[in-house]
């Protein structure tokens, strides 16, 4: 074993994690099976021998009293808390009853197995048609209290992405619509398969890392959404950080 671990902000000590499995004073595994999936090394101190993961582990929990249920760690609680978060921008131009129902079905299906607090919905449209506005406001009653903007301006989307604290964003429209389980599958790819992903693609909609977007926008000093996204897609492919859910 290595004698001591140097502090590094991109590393995670498993030592005090509620998910660490020990035999005597030596860690043997992780309850979430993350040791086998991630680069790691062994370390020790005066108390224990443990693993150190070569990246941030979002499942790490050291406050045992909050996660022990019936004598065992509640991994389901940790998984729920760690679900990746999304900004979902929904283009409501030309919205009709069928499209509205399609959006409602997607949303309700998603939150039936996903924490709805992790999903922030933005509705936008340039339409001033009375019937379409009616569909949009009726849609709002099914999905909580989403933002509504009666303007299709990608500068608006850019500004929201630059201000958000959520992990990914995607833009949905009549023609570009996600599969029913897209958000769930994207989370599985990141949190179960442990893929580092800047772009998550279901052959139709792309979820884009908001952090990558902010970095690229700042580097290029531009607010041009399409220009930023095209650059991110190209770079993520080159770096092996472009993943498909299907």
Return d(Cα 203, Cα 212) in angstroms, integer: 20
Assigned token pair, 144: 């909580």
pLDDT, tens digit, for every residue of 156-205?
899 999 999 999 999 999 999 999 999 999 999 999 999 999 999 999 99
Domain spans of the chain, in order of start: 12-75, 83-244
- Decide if pLDDT at 245 tops 60: yes
pTM metric for this prediction = 0.89
- Decide if pLDDT at 7 tops 70: no
**∠204-121-182 over CA atoms, to 5°?**
35
What is the topology classification, in CATH, of domain 83-244?
Answer: Spore Coat Polysaccharide Biosynthesis Protein SpsA; Chain A (3.90.550)
- The residues facing 123 across adjacent strands are 90, 148
Give yes or no for a contact between 18 and 59, defined as CB atoms under 8 angstroms apart: no
Assigned token pair, 89: 């921008």
Q: What is the DSSP string of 50-99?
A: EEEESS--TT----GGGTEETTEE-HHHHHHHH---EEEEEE-TT--HHH
């Amino acid at each position: 074993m290595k004698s001591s671990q140097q502090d590094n902000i991109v590393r995670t000590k498993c030592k005090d994690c509620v998910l660490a499995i020990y035999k005597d004073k030596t860690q043997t595994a992780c309850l979430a099976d993350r040791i086998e999936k991630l680069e790691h090394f062994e370390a020790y101190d005066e108390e224990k021998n443990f693993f150190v993961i070569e990246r941030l582990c979002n499942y790490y929990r050291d406050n045992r009293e909050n996660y022990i249920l019936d004598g065992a760690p509640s991994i389901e609680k940790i998984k729920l808390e760690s679900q990746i978060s999304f900004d979902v921008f929904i283009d409501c131009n030309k919205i009709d009853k069928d499209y509205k129902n399609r959006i409602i079905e997607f949303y309700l299906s998603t939150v039936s197995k996903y924490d709805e607090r992790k999903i922030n919905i933005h509705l936008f449209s340039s339409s001033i048609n009375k019937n379409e506005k009616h569909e949009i406001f009726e849609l709002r009653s099914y999905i909580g209290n989403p933002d509504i903007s009666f303007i299709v301006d990608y500068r608006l989307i850019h500004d929201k992405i630059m201000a958000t604290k959520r992990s990914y964003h995607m833009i949905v429209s009549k023609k570009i619509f996600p599969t029913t389980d897209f958000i769930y599958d994207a989370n599985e790819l990141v949190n179960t398969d442990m893929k580092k992903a800047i772009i998550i693609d279901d052959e139709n909609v792309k979820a884009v890392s908001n952090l990558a977007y902010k970095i690229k926008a700042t580097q290029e000093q531009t607010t041009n959404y399409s220009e930023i996204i095209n650059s991110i897609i190209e770079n993520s492919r080159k770096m092996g950080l472009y993943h498909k859910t299907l």
